[in-house]
Amino acid sequence: MKNKKLVYVGNNRPIRDAALKVTGQLQYTADMKFPHMLYAKMLFSPVAHAKIKKIDTSKAEALPGVKAVVTYKNSPRIPYNSSMRFYEHKIPETEYLFDDTVRFVGDRVAAVAAESLEIAEKAIRLIEVEYEELPAVFDPEEALKEGAPEIHPGGNKVAEIKTEAGNVEEALAQADYVFEDRITVPAIHHCAIETHVAIATYDSRGKLTVYSPNQNTFAFRIIISKVLEMPMSKVRVVRPAIGGAFGGKLEAVIEPVVALLAKMTGRPVKMELNRRESIVSTRTRHAGVFYIKSGVNKDGTLVAQDFRVILNTGAYATSALNVSGAMSHKVFKVYKTKHMRFTATPVYTNTPIAGAMRGYGSPQAFAAQQIHLNRVAKALNMDFVDFQLKNLVEPDGVDPRFNSPHGNPRPLDCVTKGAEAFNWASRPKTEEQGRFKRGIGMAIGSHGNGCFGAHRDVTAMVLKMNEDGTATLFTGTHDMGNGTVTAETQVIGEILGIDPENIECIEADTEATPWNLGDYASRGVFVSCNAAKKVAESVRREILKEAAQLLEVPVEELDLVGGYAVSTKDPEKKATLCDVIVHGQRVNQREIIGAETFASPAGVTSYGAHFAEVEVDTETGKVKVLDYVAVHDVGKAINPMYVEGQIEGAVQMGIGYALTEGLELDEKGKVTNNSFKKYHMLKASEMPRMQVLLVEEGEEPGPFGAKSIGECSTVPSAPAVVNAVSNALGIDFKDLPLKPERILKAIQVQK
C-alpha cells in the first residue's frame, strides 16, 4: 500500500455525530433520565483545612424524600488515587471517598441522594458539621518551608523528580552568558461547557453501571471496583456524549461517590455539578514557579539550560507525579543543546486539586521557557526567530539524554513557514498609536504522543464485518468532540477500501469495548489510529483470503478499493465486499472479526510555532490579540479540518492562559472567580484573525505518518502572546496571566 494514493485519509469529513449535535439529538449524561432516579448533591468544605470534630446527619436523614446520606462515617475507607490509569499504577493514594479531614475549600464532606434535587439541596443544608480548623498554606514555596502546616503525613513535598542530560554545571560555567528568571504560571480551570455529571444504576443482580462524560472508562472501572470492592465484571462504566473535557474529566472526581450512593439505595442516582462546584471542587492545571537558568554564547547558541520547578498539586496528589514526569521530558525534545536539567517538585497546598489539563505540563514549561528565552534573545540583540532557527532540533536530531533519534521533528519548518505567513521579518516589531501599543511575539512548543517510555501504552480494538460489506468498530476511544473516532474510521476505510460512513462505532464502554489506556496524552491519533490500522489490517488479510478463494486469484494480486476486492492485474476480476463476506459465511462458515492490541513502539513528538500580534490599551491595561498564525508539525493530517479545529480551540485556551484566566483565591483559600461571569474565558468576539498552517512531512511510526495535535496545539500560544505584550511595552512580563491590573501596575513601575 506504500505508494497508493490515499482515498479517505487526509480528507475533510464531518465528525461522526455532527448531525446529532446540530439537531440537539446527541444524548449527554445530563439529558439522561432513569425511572425512579434519585438526585444527589455534595456538601463541600467551606474551610481550607480542618478536622471534622462532629458531623450530624440526623436532620438530613429525617427529611422526607432523602434516601441516603453518606459521610466518612458510613463509607468504605479504602485509599485510592483518582488519576489511577491501570491496574498496577504505582502512585500516592491520598484520597478517600470521604475523610475526617478536609484539605481545601471545596473538599468533599458529605453527599445526599434524594427524590428531587430540591430535597437533596435542602438536606445538604441540614447537615451539621463542626470543624476544628487547622493552619492552612496556599503557596507551594511556603508549603515547602520548615514548620509549614502538614497536609498529608510525611510533609508537603510529594516528590522530587530530576531529569538530566550532559553536564549542566560545567556547560553553564563555560557559556559566554548566563541568564536567570523566575517565572510563574497560575492554576486555571478547564471550563468545559458540560460540567461534571454522572449517573449510576445498581440493580438487584448487583450490577453497577456508571454513565459519565469521562476520558477514561477503564481507569474509572479500576477505581470504582477497588473502592466498592466489586468484581470488574459487575462494574460497567459508559461514556455517553461528552461536552468538553481537556483533561478535566480524566480523573474520577464524582463517579465513585455517585456509584456508592446507587449501591446504597439500589436506585439510579444522578449528580450534576453546577459551574461554581465544578470550578471549585474538580481539577485545575498545576500552578508553578519556574526558576530557569540558560547558558548562551555570543552567537546565540543555547549551550545549557537548568529548570527548577515547584508545582502546586493542591490538596491531593492525584496526577502530581505523572504531570511532573511528563513536563520534565518535554524540554529535552526541542533544542539541540546537549546539557539540560529539569527538577520538578510537586507540593501539597490547601488549594483546589491540580490534575490533568490539555498539555499536561507542557503549557507551563514552554510558557516559562519561551518567555525566558524571548528575554535572552532580546538581551543578545537577536531576533527571536533567528534564535529559534539557530537552536531548534533538526530532523536528524537526538534526545540528549539517550542519544536516541527524535523521529522526524519539524519545529524548524514550523518556524520558517510561520514567520513567512506572519511576515515576521517585515512587520514592525512595535507600533504606537496614542494610548495603544502594538507588538509581535512568537514562541514554539512541543508535546509527546502517548505514554511510551513512561509506562505501557496500549489500545485494543475489535472490528466486525457485516455481511453487506459494512463494519462495526469497537473502540475504547472517548471522542471528546475532536474527531478521534471519525479519524479511526478514515484509517479503517482506507485499509479496507470502504467508505468510513459505513463503519459504525461503539465507543468507550468498559463492557462493550476492548481496553484502552484512556484518552489523554495526545494518544488519540498516534496510538488509537494506529490500533485502528492494526485491526483493519488484520481484517483485511481475512477478507483478501476469502476474495482470493472466491475470485480464484492469488492473495498477493488483490487489492480492496471502493467496496470491491479487485485484481491488480485484471480489473475485470472483482467482487463486492458483500459477495466476499457472504462467501466467507456460506463457503467457509465463518464471520470475519478482528481483535488486536496495539502497543505504542515509540515516543514521537509534535511541534508547533505560534506568532501573535497584540495591541495593549495602556489606559485600561486590556490586551487584544489582533493577528495570529499557528503552524504545526503533525506528520500527516488524517482529517485537516479537525486538526485546524483543534488548533483554533487551543489558541483560544492559550490566549486565556496568557491574559484573562487564572483561579483567584482569597486569604482563606476560597476561589473567588468561581463563575463564568468572574472567570474570563476568551469569547469568540475576542479572538484574533487566525491562520493555521500544517507541516506534513510524515512520522514513520504514526498511522499513515500522522502525529497527534490535541495538546501540542495549545502549548506555544500563551508565551507567544506574553512575548508580544512584553515586546509591545518593552517590559519583560514573567507572571501569568497578564490581567489589566498587572499590566497597568507594570506600566506604572516602568514610568
Question: Given the rule CB under 8 A, which residues bind a copy of itself?
Answer: 16-17, 19-20, 22-23, 25, 31, 35, 86-88, 203-207, 222, 225, 231-234, 236, 456, 458, 460, 462, 464, 466-468, 470-472, 474, 502-504, 506, 511-512, 514-515, 578, 582, 585-586, 589-591, 593-595, 597, 599
State the minimum distance, in angstroms, from the CB of residue 232 to a copy of itself. Answer: 4
State the minimum distance, in angstroms, from the CB of residue 498 to a copy of itself. Answer: 9
Residues 6+ apart with CB under 8 A from 734: 181, 182, 183, 184, 371
Q: Which is nearer to a copy of itself, 359 or 701 (by Cβ)? A: 701
Q: Which is nearer to a copy of itself, 261 or 505 (by Cβ)? A: 505
Residue type for position 464: K
Give dist(CA 420, CA 417) in Å, integer.
5
State the minimum distance, in angstroms, from the CB of residue 593 to a copy of itself. Answer: 4
Q: Which is nearer to a copy of itself, 255 or 507 (by Cβ)? A: 507
Cα–Cα–Cα angle for 323, 328, 333, rounded to 5 degrees: 125
State the minimum distance, in angstroms, from the CB of residue 34 to a copy of itself. Answer: 10
Q: Which is nearer to a copy of itself, 376 or 471 (by Cβ)? A: 471
State the minimum distance, in angstroms, from the CB of residue 544 to a copy of itself. Answer: 18
State the minimum distance, in angstroms, from the CB of residue 174 to a copy of itself. Answer: 43
Q: Which is nearer to a copy of itself, 24 or 153 (by Cβ)? A: 24
3-class state of residue 673 by DSSP: coil
Cα–Cα–Cα angle for 580, 584, 585, rounded to 5 degrees: 115
Q: Which is nearer to a copy of itself, 22 or 379 (by Cβ)? A: 22
The alpha-helical segments, DSSP class H, found in 16-106 are 18-22, 58-62
State the minimum distance, in angstroms, from the CB of residue 438 to a copy of itself. Answer: 46
Give dist(CA 139, CA 186) in Å, integer.
11
State the minimum distance, in angstroms, from the CB of residue 554 to a copy of itself. Answer: 25
Please state the separation of Cα 275 from the chain's center in Å. 20
Tell me how crowded residue 266 is: count the other CB atoms within 10 A of its CB.
15
State the minimum distance, in angstroms, from the CB of residue 582 to a copy of itself. Answer: 5
Give dist(CA 531, CA 475) in Å, integer.
9
Which element (helix H / strand E) includes 474? strand 471-475
Give dist(CA 260, CA 266) in Å, integer.
10
Q: Which of 547, 550, 580, 554 is nearest to 569 (CA)?
A: 554
The b-or-e profile of 139-160 (16+ CB within 10 A means b, else e) is bbeebbeeebbebeeeebebbe
Q: Which is nearer to a copy of itself, 160 or 468 (by Cβ)? A: 468
Q: Which is nearer to a copy of itself, 534 or 622 (by Cβ)? A: 534
Tell me how crowded residue 177 is: count the other CB atoms within 10 A of its CB.
13
Virtual CA dihedral for 629, 634, 638, 644, nearest 10 degrees? -20
State the minimum distance, in angstroms, from the CB of residue 99 to a copy of itself. Answer: 26
Give dist(CA 695, CA 426) in Å, integer.
23
Q: Which is nearer to a copy of itself, 7 or 506 (by Cβ)? A: 506
Q: Are strands 458-465 and 593-599 parallel, antiparallel or unpaired?
A: antiparallel
Q: Which is nearer to a copy of itself, 160 or 203 (by Cβ)? A: 203
Q: Which is nearer to a copy of itself, 219 or 380 (by Cβ)? A: 219
Q: Are 194 and 242 in contact (CB under 8 A)?
A: yes
State the minimum distance, in angstroms, from the CB of residue 299 to a copy of itself. Answer: 45
